[in-house]
Chain A
C-alpha cells in the first residue's frame, strides 16, 4: 500500500515536471506549428500529366533538403503539383524546374512556376469551433456523474474528473511542446480522443466501484 502511494507520488511529480517544462517552452519558444497552419510558400507547377507524389518527393528531398515539404495534387485532372514549403530561393526554383523537367520529360520554365506566400491560419481560429461543444459536454457529463455517483462522494468525483481531464490535455500539450512534434491536423482529434478516453475510463472505473459497493451492501 505504501509502495503504491509512493509510486503515485512519483508519477505526480513526473507529470508536474513535464507540464511545467512544456508550459515554459510554449511560452518562450512557442509550439512547432506545421505547414498545415503556419505561413508558408506554395509553389504550383502545371505539369499537364499524371504523376506520383513519391516521384516529386524524391525531387524535393534533393532541392529542399532542410525544409519541411508537403506535396499535393491539384486541378480537376490532378495533373498539377502543389509544393508547400517554408521558403524557396530563386536558385532552388530553377533547380526544382530542372529536376521536374528531367523526371517527367516536360519543358517547364522557371517563370511558369506560380509562387504564392500563404499566410498562417491562427491556432485560435482552428480551436474556437471546439470550445463551446467541449465545455458544454464536460459540464453535462460532470452533472450526470454528480447524480450517478452521489453515494460515492459526488463532489470529490466531479473534482477528480475535472482535474484529470484538464491535466491530461495539458500534459498532451506539454509533450507536444517538449518533443517539438509539429502541430498539424492530427493534433486536435488526438486531443479529443484523449479527452474522451479519460472521461470514459474514469466512468468505467467509477461504475465498477459502484457495483462493488452495491454488492458489499447487499
Chain B
C-alpha cells in the first residue's frame, strides 16, 4: 500500500515536472532579464514569418538583349550573321544599336507558366520545403512566398535568366542547354582527399561527335613571333564564367564519356561552406538542365510578413476541448477519469517538448496531427480504464489487451506517418513527423506512466 502511494506520488511528480517545463519553461538569468532556456518551437509559414518577393518583367526586349549580350564580341566585329558549325545551327543577331529600338515583347501565358515552373524547380533544388508562387498572367508579375529563413544569397539566382552557353575564345557560340542530356550534382566525401561538390554535365552524343569532328579548329595557334595562343572554351551562365579550359583539353575530357565534371569547393572548406557550394551546384545544375527563362525578371519588392494566424488561438481551442474531455472523463469514470486526464496532460507536455527538441516544423497540418494524436491518447486512456474495471487481471495483460484493440489504429496511423514524414513539402512532413513520434511516444508513455497510474487507483479501490 505504502509502495503504491510512493509510486503514485512519483508518477504525478513526473507529470507535473513535465508540465512545468513544457508549458511554463525553465528560466535562467541572462544579463538583466530572465530567459527561457527550453528550446523554442520551429514554426512554418502558417504561424511564422514569410518572405514575400515581388517580381516584375524587365521592360526591355529581353530576347534581343540576351542574344546581343551573348554575341557581343561577334557583333563588335560587325558580324551580323554567323554559322556555328559545332552546334550545327545558324544564329542571327542584330547590331547593338537596334536593341534600343526593339519593340516590347508581348506577354505570352506559356512563357509565364514556363518561368514559374523553372522558379519552382530552382526552389526545390535549393531544398526550400514550402513556397507558393502567385503568377499574374496579364502583366507577367509574380509574388513568391518563402519561409523567412530562406538563404537570401540565392534569391537573385532563383530569378536569374540562367542562360547556359559554351563559347570559344572568339566569342562564338558552341553549345547550350539544348546540348545537355543530363546534369548531376553530388557532395562527394569519399572519392577525393578533400570533400568537394561535383557537377557532372552529360552531353548529347551528336553534340560530342560534332565537337570532336571540329577539334582541329581549336588547336593552338602560333603567330609569326612564335607566340603560342591556346584556344579556349568557356562555360557561362548569363554573363558569368563558370568554367574555362583549353578547348583541346576540354574536348578530350568530354569525349571519354560524353561528360564534363566541374568541381566546387577547396581544401579546408567548412561544413557550412560545403553546404553553400552544394546549393550553388543545385541552382547551376537546374539552370543548365532547364534552359533559360523565357522572360527576364527583376526583383521589385521584398517584404517580411508575419502570419495573421496566432498560435495562441489554437491553444485556447485546445484548452476548451481538453476541458470538455475532462468533464466527460470525470463524469464517466470519477477519480479514475482524473488520472486519465492527468496522464494525458503529461503526454501532451512530453510531445510538445519532443516537438521542440526534434526541430519539427509546426504547420497547420501538424497542429491537426497533434489534435488527432491527443484524441487517440484520450480514447486509449478511457478504454484502458474501462478494461481495467472489467477484470482483475494483471495490468500488463490489460495494457496488452487495450493495445491490441488499438493496434489497427496505430498501424494505419504509422503507415500514414511514415509516408508523410518522408515528403519534403513542409505541411505534409509536419503532419507525418508529429504522427510518427506521437504513436511511438504514446505506446511507450502509456506503458510506463498510464499503466502504473491506473494500477495505483485500482489497488486503492
Q: A20 an interface residue at 8 Å Cβ cutoff?
A: no
Q: A121 an interface residue at 8 Å Cβ cutoff?
A: yes
Docked complex Cα distance between A114 and B305 (Å)? 14
**Given A119-B136, A200-B409, A207-B405, are A144 and B46 neighbors across the interface (CB < 8 Å)?**
no
**Given A141-B412, A207-B407, are A196 and B143 neighbors across the interface (CB < 8 Å)?**
no
B305 adjacent to A118 (CB under 8 Å): no
Docked complex Cα distance between A185 and B132 (Å)? 12
* Number of interchain pairs (Cβ within 8 Å): 115
Q: Which residues from 114 to 134 on chain A have a C-beta closer than 8 Å to any C-beta of chain B?
A: 114, 116-121, 125-126, 129-130, 133
A185 adjacent to B309 (CB under 8 Å): yes
Which of A7-15, A24-32, A71-79, A173-181 lies at the interface with chain B?
Answer: A71-79
- In the bound complex, residues from chain A placing their C-beta under 8 Å from that of B368 are 189-190, 192-193
Of the residues A72, A116, A144, contact of B301 by C-beta under 8 Å: A116
* Per-position binary interface string of chain A over residues 59-85, scored 1 when its CB falls under 8 Å from any chain B CB and 0 otherwise: 000000000001111111010101000
Q: Which residues from 125 to 156 on chain A have a C-beta closer than 8 Å to any C-beta of chain B?
A: 125-126, 129-130, 133, 136-137, 140-141, 144, 148
Q: A93 an interface residue at 8 Å Cβ cutoff?
A: no
B365 adjacent to A188 (CB under 8 Å): yes
Min distance, Cβ A61 to any Cβ of chain B, angstroms: 15
- In the bound complex, residues from chain B placing their C-beta under 8 Å from that of A118 are 134, 143
- In the bound complex, residues from chain A placing their C-beta under 8 Å from that of B419 are 133, 136-137, 140
Of the residues B134, B142, B364, B420, contact of A133 by C-beta under 8 Å: B420
Q: Which residues from 21 to 46 on chain B have a C-beta closer than 8 Å to any C-beta of chain A?
A: 46
Of the residues B132, B309, B416, B431, contact of A121 by C-beta under 8 Å: B132
Min distance, Cβ B88 to any Cβ of chain A, angstroms: 38
Docked complex Cα distance between A197 and B372 (Å)? 8
Q: B413 an interface residue at 8 Å Cβ cutoff?
A: yes
Q: A44 an interface residue at 8 Å Cβ cutoff?
A: yes
**Given A185-B309, A207-B405, are A196 and B416 neighbors across the interface (CB < 8 Å)?**
yes
B415 adjacent to A117 (CB under 8 Å): no
Q: A204 an interface residue at 8 Å Cβ cutoff?
A: yes
Which size bracket describes the interface of A in this complex?
Answer: 35 or more
- In the bound complex, residues from chain B placing their C-beta under 8 Å from that of A190 are 368
- In the bound complex, residues from chain B placing their C-beta under 8 Å from that of A121 are 132-134
Q: A206 an interface residue at 8 Å Cβ cutoff?
A: yes
Q: B428 an interface residue at 8 Å Cβ cutoff?
A: yes
Nearest CB in chain A to that of B116: its residue: A125
A125 adjacent to B428 (CB under 8 Å): no
- In the bound complex, residues from chain B placing their C-beta under 8 Å from that of A126 are 132
Of the residues A117, A189, A204, contact of B427 by C-beta under 8 Å: A189
Q: A108 an interface residue at 8 Å Cβ cutoff?
A: no
Of the residues A74, A130, A144, A148, contact of B306 by C-beta under 8 Å: A74
Docked complex Cα distance between A119 and B408 (Å)? 45
B306 adjacent to A78 (CB under 8 Å): yes
Q: B229 an interface residue at 8 Å Cβ cutoff?
A: no
Min distance, Cβ A30 to any Cβ of chain B, angstroms: 18
* Per-position binary interface string of chain B over residues 146-172, scored 1 when its CB falls under 8 Å from any chain A CB and 0 otherwise: 000000000000000000000000000
- In the bound complex, residues from chain B placing their C-beta under 8 Å from that of A117 are 136
Docked complex Cα distance between A36 and B195 (Å)? 44
Docked complex Cα distance between A11 and B107 (Å)? 52
B365 adjacent to A129 (CB under 8 Å): no
Q: Which residues from 7 to 56 on chain A have a C-beta closer than 8 Å to any C-beta of chain B?
A: 39, 44, 53
B371 adjacent to A144 (CB under 8 Å): no
A133 adjacent to B428 (CB under 8 Å): yes
Q: B304 an interface residue at 8 Å Cβ cutoff?
A: yes
Q: B75 an interface residue at 8 Å Cβ cutoff?
A: no
Q: A217 an interface residue at 8 Å Cβ cutoff?
A: no
- In the bound complex, residues from chain B placing their C-beta under 8 Å from that of A188 are 364-365, 427
**Given A203-B409, A207-B408, are A196 and B372 neighbors across the interface (CB < 8 Å)?**
yes
Q: B294 an interface residue at 8 Å Cβ cutoff?
A: no
* Per-position binary interface string of chain B over residues 410-449, scored 1 when its CB falls under 8 Å from any chain A CB and 0 otherwise: 0111011001100101011001000000000000000000
16 additional A-B pairs beyond A121-B133, A189-B364, A189-B368, beta carbons within 8 Å, are A44-B303, A72-B307, A73-B306, A74-B306, A75-B303, A116-B54, A119-B142, A125-B132, A133-B419, A133-B423, A186-B364, A190-B368, A192-B365, A193-B371, A200-B412, A204-B408
Q: Show the binding face of A for B, using Cβ within 8 Å.
A: 39, 44, 53, 70-76, 78, 80, 82, 114, 116-121, 125-126, 129-130, 133, 136-137, 140-141, 144, 148, 185-186, 188-190, 192-193, 196-197, 199-200, 203-204, 206-208, 211
Give me 21 A-to-B residue pairs in the complex whose CB atoms sit less than 8 angstroms apart, sorted by A's number.
A39-B136, A72-B305, A72-B308, A80-B303, A114-B301, A119-B136, A126-B132, A130-B425, A136-B419, A137-B415, A137-B416, A144-B411, A188-B427, A190-B368, A193-B368, A193-B371, A200-B372, A204-B406, A204-B409, A207-B408, A208-B405
Closest 9 CB pairs of A and B: A119-B136, A207-B408, A203-B408, A129-B425, A189-B368, A73-B306, A119-B134, A189-B365, A189-B364
Q: Show the binding face of B for A, using Cβ within 8 Å.
A: 46, 54, 132-137, 141-143, 301, 303-309, 364-365, 367-368, 371-372, 376, 404-409, 411-413, 415-416, 419-420, 423, 425, 427-428, 431
